[in-house]
């Protein structure tokens, strides 16, 4: 299976992963042979690209940390919480959330050897739901690698689901504005962590560490974040991890005000701001765990050759194993002597 940017998708290609919307409805099944109508439909959805199953990349296997159905029900649960809360319906959802959180935590712990490696195929309109589910899963992965106790992992994943719930109190026009916000709008927007904290503590029964992580997910390590300008270890441990997961997913997504950044660009951005915006320990864990060159993607080497990323090596995220496009041979950038002078110069996305 390999990843193709949307402009390279053609009729006749076989879809490698099913495509679904935020409500969990399947739009196109896995192994669908794409028609011209399917191709224009995928483009219309606004997804940046899809996974395609082809003969060449047959042995490139994409393993996910969290099973697709668990991920899908996470998106549904988030959607449910947000829509009900926005409609003033305060049915207790702690149990449904807790069940899904447990499944995610179990998946994360079981798949300890799998690197987080996904270019999320998400549509533009349903951003908040996909984003919250992604942040929950990614935070769970980072938390597990930080050796958090299982109970804290559960709280961290729960906080991932709920971190932006305060946005239901912010005018949607402000949230999706493809322009610079006015001072007044910016203040309203920056109030969402506090609004979320108050909403959750007033209406639900979540543990205090979940509430704090929601409250503090925009605080900066150097004390220049919001809303309370907390600093370093004044910021709760879960919020420090959540912050990295939130920024990673937001930057790799398509938003009204920016195109998705490449994973490599985002990892570099976050590493560059370690100790300033981000907690250094959380950054260190992220740099070892997130695939800079996700499996299935095409890259260019410094000698001009191209290959598909076949496998990543933990801790050496810049030196994956590739399947070369010209010869079909595998090249391990970490261990093959012939590859020691080569670097990846470009991710083709
Ligand atoms: Fe937020």
Ligand 1 centroid–CA 196 distance in Å is 9
Residue 126 has pLDDT above 70, yes or no: no
Report the pLDDT averaged over residues 136-140: 94
What's the pLDDT score for residue 117?
A: 66
Report the pLDDT averaged over residues 202-228: 96
What are the structure tokens assigned to 255, written together? 């938003």
Ligand 1 centroid–CA 164 distance in Å is 5
* Alpha-carbon gap, residue 56 to 341, rounded angstroms: 26
Residue 67 has pLDDT above 90, yes or no: no
Task: Read off the pLDDT band of 47 (50, 70, 90).
Answer: confident
Q: 3-state DSSP helix/strand/coil percent for the chain, to nearest 5?
A: 45, 15, 40
Give the 3-state DSSP-derived string for 224-241, with helices as H, strands as E and coil as C: CCCCCCCCHHHCCHHHHH
Report the pLDDT averaged over residues 66-82: 85
Ligand 1 centroid–CA 236 distance in Å is 16
Ligand 1 centroid–CA 249 distance in Å is 11
Ligand 1 centroid–CA 115 distance in Å is 25
Ligand 1 centroid–CA 285 distance in Å is 21
Task: Read off the pLDDT band of 189 (50, 70, 90).
Answer: very high
Ligand 1 centroid–CA 217 distance in Å is 7
Please name every residue paired with 307 in a beta bridge, in sequence order, or none if there are none: 299, 324
| Runs of H (alpha helix) within the chain | 36-45, 68-86, 94-110, 127-145, 150-162, 172-175, 183-189, 192-203, 208-215, 237-251, 263-272, 280-289
How many beta carbons lie within 10 A of that of residue 43, not counting itself? 12
Task: Read off the pLDDT band of 237 (50, 70, 90).
Answer: very high
Instruction: Give per-residue pLDDT as tens, 253-266.
Output: 877 777 778 888 88
Ligand 1 centroid–CA 349 distance in Å is 27
User: Assign residue 46 a region: left if phi > 0, alpha if psi is -120 to 50, beta otherwise?
Assistant: left
Ligand 1 centroid–CA 250 distance in Å is 10
Ligand 1 centroid–CA 162 distance in Å is 10
Give me the chain's average pLDDT, please: 89
* Alpha-carbon gap, residue 302 to 127, rounded angstroms: 36
Ligand 1 centroid–CA 51 distance in Å is 29
Ligand 1 centroid–CA 343 distance in Å is 36
Residue 224 has pLDDT above 90, yes or no: yes
Ligand 1 centroid–CA 259 distance in Å is 19
Ligand 1 centroid–CA 281 distance in Å is 21
Report the pLDDT averaged over residues 278-291: 91
Ligand 1 centroid–CA 60 distance in Å is 35
Residue 275 has pLDDT above 90, yes or no: yes
Residue 24 has pLDDT above 70, yes or no: no
Ligand 1 centroid–CA 192 distance in Å is 7
Residue 123 has pLDDT above 60, yes or no: no
Residue 120 has pLDDT above 80, yes or no: no
Ligand 1 centroid–CA 114 distance in Å is 27
What's the pLDDT score for residue 320?
A: 93
Report the pLDDT averaged over residues 59-85: 84
Residue 272's contacts (CB-CB under 8 Å, 6 or more residues apart) are none
What are the structure tokens assigned to 227, written together? 């809303």
Ligand 1 centroid–CA 163 distance in Å is 6
Picking from 8-17, 63-72, 297-306, which range would have the lowest pLDDT averaged per residue? 63-72
| 217 in Cβ contact with 138 (< 8 Å) | no
Residue 70 has pLDDT above 90, yes or no: no
Ligand 1 centroid–CA 27 distance in Å is 29
Ligand 1 centroid–CA 91 distance in Å is 23
């Amino acid at each position: 299976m390999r990843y193709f940017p949307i402009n390279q998708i053609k009729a006749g290609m076989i879809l490698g992963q099913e495509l679904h919307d935020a409500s969990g409805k399947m739009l196109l099944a896995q192994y669908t042979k794409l028609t011209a109508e399917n191709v224009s439909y995928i483009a219309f959805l606004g997804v940046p690209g899809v996974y395609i199953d082809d003969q060449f990349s047959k042995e490139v296997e994409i393993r996910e940390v969290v099973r697709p159905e668990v991920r899908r029900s996470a998106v549904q649960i988030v959607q449910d919480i947000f829509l009900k809360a926005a409609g003033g319906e305060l049915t207790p959802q702690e149990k449904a959330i807790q069940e899904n959180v447990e499944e995610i935590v179990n998946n994360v712990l079981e798949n300890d050897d799998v690197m987080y490696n996904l270019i999320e195929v998400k549509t533009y309109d349903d951003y908040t739901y996909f984003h919250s589910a992604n942040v929950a899963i990614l935070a769970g992965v980072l938390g597990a690698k930080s050796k958090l106790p299982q109970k804290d992992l559960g709280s961290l994943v729960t906080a991932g689901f709920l971190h932006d719930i305060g946005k239901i109190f912010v005018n949607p026009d402000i949230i999706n504005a493809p322009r610079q916000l006015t001072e007044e709008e910016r203040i309203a927007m920056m109030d969402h962590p506090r609004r979320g904290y108050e909403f959750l503590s007033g209406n639900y029964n979540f543990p205090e560490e979940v509430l704090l992580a929601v409250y503090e997910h925009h605080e900066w390590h150097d004390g220049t974040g919001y809303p309370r300008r907390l600093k370093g270890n004044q910021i709760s441990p879960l919020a420090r991890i959540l912050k990295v997961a939130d920024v990673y997913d937001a930057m790799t997504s398509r938003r009204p005000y920016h195109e998705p950044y490449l994973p490599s660009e985002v990892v570099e951005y976050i590493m560059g701001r370690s100790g300033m915006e981000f907690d250094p320990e959380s950054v260190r864990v992220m740099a070892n765990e997130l695939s800079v060159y996700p499996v299935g993607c095409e890259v260019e080497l410094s000698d001009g050759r191209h290959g598909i990323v076949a496998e990543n090596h933990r801790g050496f995220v810049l030196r994956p194993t590739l399947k070369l496009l010209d010869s079909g041979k595998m090249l391990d950038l970490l261990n093959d002597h012939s590859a020691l002078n080569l670097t990846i110069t470009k991710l083709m996305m």
